[in-house]
Amino acid sequence: MFSVSLGEMKEFMRNFHSEMRKGLAGEKSSLRMLSEYVKKPRGTESGIFLGLDLGGTNFRILLLELTGKRKTRILSSSKFLLHKKHMTGAGTALFDFLAACIKSFTDKYKAGIDRKYRIGFTFSFPVKKRALARGILIRWTKGFRARGVEGKDVVLLLNESLKRKGLRCAEVVALANDTVSTLLARSYEDPDCDIGVILGTGTNACYCERAGEIINIEWGRFSKLRGTPYDKAVDRLSINPGEQLLEKMVSGMYLGRIARLVAEDLPGKGKLPGEFKSEYMSLIESDSSKNMQKTKNLLKKFGMPDPSYSDRKLLKKACSMVSTRAARLGAAAIASVITRMDARLLKKHTVAIDGSVYEKHSGFSRKIKQALKEIFGKNTKNIRLVLTKDASAKGAAILAATAAS
């Protein structure tokens, strides 16, 4: 039920290519294929730029120097915690808080120099881009509900707050999501990088289309998939039934939910918690302790005092089955994008990847690489997967540099 054969991965790729073509042509498609109004950096951009990253409860600010020779240097960075009042109160209060954080940061690091700060802003919420520095918030996610922001240009809102705080020397000149920033962060240093991927709580990717423009795929929406009864149950109980179907099979938010439903159908089943997290799956899959004692200790916390060794082994198999399918689907999606750009895989391609599932889930990156080897054989040598951690703020600063060049 959870196996993904080589033939199924190739069928996935054919369907994915079809959806990509439709999306680029403006036809109905499960892939949005949104222009980000930006191209890859040349590597010659230079100067000092500010990068911002807002995508959760932490607001990150980075001061980055670009040498113009594909090298960067982080001059300073800070992280500010958002409280519930910022996330659920008035939108003006949220953006005024962000502006106050920026003022505190620049006051500390400009050392009396009246520098003009050009700012790149990674804003990881659903946005309709109208230009490089114009993005309309479609809807809040991740627990944010700040009033008066949906349907508004978030760049304009932040620039207005900067002016209210007296920061006339700072201006947001570019907006991106986290996939674009991941691609930019790596591609400034590596000219072969042409794909940015997020494999974490959610999943998405962007790539360089043939004209050089970066396209945000929104691949979590891909729907041409063979689901199981467990996937259908997870989808039915989600806040967005019928949407984000690939994301619900691949991302960290959902892997644990699928594994929990599978475990309920196993012999000797116990009651796993409603929020069975993907981190628990990873711990169980990687458990090489004697008699799987780590798994036994974990299950005790869930009120299962004496699960048998065979039950623990069966649970490990179930978790591995769910994550292996996720990795193979992720590999098929990556392969689809690479072959869109380079059908015969004649060039080198670096895939910049960020996200907790790729970085931390036991065996996940290895399984993706193995699946790519099955698809491409010896040509896999032209594909390089690179973990690009904490790229959002750095990529935003590089984005500001591309806007200035």
- Of 53, 96, 178, 194, the catalytic one is 178
What are the phi and psi torsion angles at 354 (to 5°)? -125, 155
The mean pLDDT value for 220-238 works out to 95
Share of the chain above pLDDT 70, in %: 98
Instruction: State the Cα–Cα distance between residues 257 and 263, nearest whole angstrom.
Output: 10
User: Looking at residue 268, what is its pLDDT?
Assistant: 63
Single out the residue of 399, 404, 394 nearest to residue 120, CA to CA.
Answer: 399
Please report the DSSP string for 257-295 in residue order: HHHHHHHHTSTT-----TT--HHHHHHHHT--SGGGHHH
User: Looking at residue 112, what is its pLDDT?
Assistant: 41
- Of 84, 85, 108, 142, the catalytic one is 142
The identity of residue 48, as a single letter, is I
Cα dihedral 284, 3, 377, 204, rounded to 10, equals -70
Retrieve residue 214's tokens. Answer: 């970066």
Residue 212 or 234, more confident: 234
User: Looking at residue 218, what is its pLDDT?
Assistant: 93
Instruction: State the Cα–Cα distance between residues 34 and 88, nearest whole angstrom.
Output: 28
User: Looking at residue 405, what is its pLDDT?
Assistant: 73
Question: Is the per-residue pLDDT at 156 higher than 70?
Answer: yes
Secondary structure of residue 52 in the 3-state scheme: strand
pLDDT, averaged across the chain: 93
Over its C-alpha atoms, the chain yields an Rg (Å, rounded) of 22
Please give the C-alpha separations between residue 169 and each of 63, 158, 185, 263, in angstroms, as whole numbers: 15, 14, 25, 57
Retrieve residue 2's tokens. Answer: 């959870």
Q: What pLDDT digit, counting tens, does each position of 44-103 carry?
A: 999 999 999 998 889 999 999 999 999 999 999 999 999 999 999 999 999 999 999 999
Single out the residue of 184, 204, 245 nearest to residue 401, CA to CA.
Answer: 184
The mean pLDDT value for 151-177 works out to 94
User: Looking at residue 207, what is its pLDDT?
Assistant: 98
Q: Tell the residue number behind the tokens 């520098």, with chain if given.
A: 115
The identity of residue 251, as a single letter, is S
Instruction: State the Cα–Cα distance between residues 105 and 76, nearest whole angstrom.
Output: 9
Q: What pLDDT digit, counting tens, does each position of 386-405 carry?
A: 999 879 999 999 999 998 77
Between strands 203-208 and 213-216, the pairing is antiparallel
Question: Is the per-residue pLDDT at 381 higher than 90?
Answer: yes
Half-sphere exposure in the Cβ direction for 230 (13 Å, CA): 19
Q: What pLDDT digit, counting tens, does each position of 88-141 carry?
A: 999 999 999 999 999 999 888 764 445 688 999 999 888 989 899 999 998 888
Residue 275 pLDDT grade (very low, low, confident, very high; cuts 50, 70, 90): confident
Known active-site residue 110: no
How many CB atoms are closer than 10 A to CB 328? 26
Instruction: State the Cα–Cα distance between residues 397 and 185, nearest whole angstrom.
Output: 9
Question: Is the per-residue pLDDT at 283 higher than 70?
Answer: yes
Q: What pLDDT digit, counting tens, does each position of 299-354 carry?
A: 988 888 788 899 899 999 999 999 999 999 999 999 999 999 999 999 999 999 99
User: Looking at residue 111, what is its pLDDT?
Assistant: 43
Range list of H helices, 25-61: none
CATH number for the domain formed by residue range(s) 35-189+390-404 = 3.30.420.40
Single out the residue of 392, 390, 341, 389 nearest to residue 20, CA to CA.
Answer: 341
CATH number for the domain formed by residue range(s) 6-33+195-387 = 3.40.367.20
Known active-site residue 373: no
User: Looking at residue 273, what is its pLDDT?
Assistant: 76
The identity of residue 81, as a single letter, is L
Q: What is the pTM of this model?
A: 0.92
Retrieve residue 391's tokens. Answer: 């790229």
Contacts of 9 (CB under 8 A, 6+ apart): 328, 331, 332, 335, 371, 374, 375
The residues spanned by each domain of the chain are: 6-33+195-387, 35-189+390-404
User: Looking at residue 83, what is its pLDDT?
Assistant: 92
The mean pLDDT value for 133-153 works out to 92
